Amino acid sequence: MQLKRCLNVVLVREYCSLSHIGLDLGSDDEMLLVENTTSIPWIIYKDCHQLGIIDPGELLVFHICKHGWLNVRPINTKDSVEYLVLSLNYFVNLVYIYKRYIGKGVEIYEMRAT
């Protein structure tokens, strides 16, 4: 991410095909919070770009263009989870990664947007 600040104008070049210019008025349209409520770390991807690693119990903040896909993959686990995928749009502000029990002895990992 490249960020240049000149007076109150911000030029942001993200993973979008075009740069965009906007006033720095404290808007959080491009802010995405991701919270890991599981006991395992995950690698976070936006489309095919790796954004980072989120540890158990951690909350990360990203400033990204909210279109495309958010993918997460567990790190060094023997669970049968490969990828969790979520479609992004400007209404998505907070994403939870969590474990859910759907039956006796059956656990699944899910990703939910709010």
- The domain locations on the chain are 28-113
Question: How many angstroms separate the CA atoms of 78 and 86, rounded?
Answer: 22
Task: Assess whether pLDDT exceeds 50 at residue 19.
Answer: no
User: Do the Cβ atoms of 74 and 55 come closer than 8 Å?
Assistant: no
- pLDDT 10s digits, 75-86: 977 766 688 999
For 28-113, CATH gives 2.60.40
- pLDDT 10s digits, 56-79: 999 999 999 899 999 999 997 776
Verdict on whether the full-model pTM lies above 0.75 = no
